[in-house]
Amino acid sequence: MKRPSWPSWMPIDPYIAALLGTVGLAALLPARDTAADVASGASTAAVAFLFFLYGARLSTGEALEGLRHWRLHLAVLLCTFTLFPLLGLAARGLETTLLTPELYSGLLFLTLVPSTIQSSIAFTSLARGNVPAAICAGSFSSLAGIVLTPLLAAGLLGHSAGGFSADSLLKIVLQLLVPFLAGQFLRRWVGSFLTRHKKVLGLVDRGSILLVVYTAFSQGMVQGIWHQVSPARLGALLGVEAVLLTVMLTLTWYGAKWLGFGRADRVAIQFAGSKKSLAAGLPMASVLFGAGASLAVLPLMLFHQMQLMVCAVIAKRRSREPAAPSPESEVLATDPPLSPPVRTAATRTAAGTARRSG
């Protein structure tokens, strides 16, 4: 029997639909009292397990091999952790006009989150870009984000992210860094198991993130913070994020050309340097913002869906352009160009692959 698939005409990714359903569940049946304590404990354990899996899946050898293309990876890191935050800071004037302070904090936080891995690879492959570079760039960004995102949040968000006390530092180390390092250490023993059960663990990944979302939005419902956000404010937030995404897509594409990168590398830089990871950002927000995480993650959730829809259109258009590999990328981009049947399959599955990212 053929497994049912998500209709291609649906404008929303199925995982985003699940996230929105989780938000609706938290609005109707929020966790309270003892149930809230249980959900909070389970969410903490889920965050630690997520970062353990991130560490166990990242091949240290592949990461070191990818360092040979260091200029491309440096460009992606600068886009992710420098250009994005600068644009977020430039939008500070909107805090008291279009956005509320809570929504602006969430907007600024999304600019500090690392890039995606799966969706960057999917769209780079569809657009016939440098796929090996996209794999390494996404991995480096996720690894750097474990350290840089909390540090940048502490410096730029201050008390709205809980401050940078010894307690918050210890919480970050125990919930994010220690599980990640444990995954790296145990990779040689558990790596083959993770490869064999990739689909099942993918469901565990997404289920853990849904639990984090439910816990965060339940806390928001109990505290009544949703009364602070009007439809007009949400519309303004969507407009600001559309401008942010447009600026980053433009800067990554033409900035990479100005730096002398070839077409294949420019594709990888554009898709890896313009997106933000929902999978990495949600657990980090739950650690950094605590009870205020519900509003803090809302801009990231909206931006994630927007970037998938826009980048899918751009990738399809780029797939029809003539490919001209750059000399610098030939060392890593050794695979032959995708044949028309493979590109057709990539077209059908790019959005589906992207939902497993963050």
Q: What is the pLDDT of residues 105-154, one digit of tens each?
A: 889 999 999 998 777 877 888 888 888 788 788 878 887 888 888 888 88
- Mean pLDDT confidence for 49-64: 71
199 in the Ramachandran plot: left (φ > 0), alpha (ψ -120 to 50) or beta? alpha
Hey, how many other C-beta atoms are within 10 angstroms of the C-beta on 330?
Answer: 12
297 lies in a domain? yes
328 lies in a domain? no
Q: Does residue 82 register a pLDDT over 90?
A: yes
Domains held by the chain: number: 1
38 lies in a domain? yes
pLDDT tens digit sequence for 324-341: 544 444 444 444 444 444
Output the pLDDT for position 244: 95
Output the pLDDT for position 258: 95
Q: Give, in order, the Cα–Cα distances in Å from 12 to each of 87, 272, 301, 304, 318.
A: 27, 21, 12, 11, 22
pLDDT tens digit sequence for 159-203: 555 544 556 566 667 777 788 788 888 888 887 887 787 777 777
Which H/E stretch holds residue 280?
A: helix 278-289
354 lies in a domain? no
Output the pLDDT for position 212: 74
Q: Give, in order, the Cα–Cα distances in Å from 120 to each of 147, 315, 351, 356.
A: 21, 10, 11, 11
339 lies in a domain? no
Q: Among the listed ranges 203-207, 242-246, 332-336, which one has the minimum average pLDDT value?
A: 332-336
CATH assignment at residue 106: 1.20.1530.20
pLDDT tens digit sequence for 307-319: 887 888 898 888 8
| 224 vs 206, higher pLDDT | 206
Q: Give, in order, the Cα–Cα distances in Å from 299 to each of 25, 223, 275.
A: 19, 19, 13
Q: What are the φ/ψ torsions at residue 19 (nearest 5 degrees)?
A: -65, -45
Angle at 234 between CA 230 and CA 236, to 5 degrees: 115
Q: Does residue 246 register a pLDDT over 60?
A: yes
Q: What is the dihedral of CA 171, 173, 177, 181, to 10 degrees?
A: -120
101 lies in a domain? yes
- Mean pLDDT confidence for 251-278: 92
92 lies in a domain? yes
Place of tokens 């994005």: 84
Q: Does residue 344 register a pLDDT over 50?
A: no
Mean pLDDT across the chain, nearest whole number? 76
Q: DSSP letter at 332?
A: T
Structural domain boundaries, residue 256? 14-319
pLDDT tens digit sequence for 6-30: 445 445 567 667 777 887 888 788 8
Cα–Cα nearest to 174, from 166, 138, 226, 118: 166
- Mean pLDDT confidence for 266-277: 92
78 in the Ramachandran plot: left (φ > 0), alpha (ψ -120 to 50) or beta? alpha
pLDDT band at 260 (very low <50, low <70, confident <90, very high): very high
Q: What is the dihedral of CA 231, 101, 288, 166, to 10 degrees?
A: -170
Place of tokens 């990328």: 329
| 283 vs 357, higher pLDDT | 283
| 282 vs 255, higher pLDDT | 255
104 lies in a domain? yes
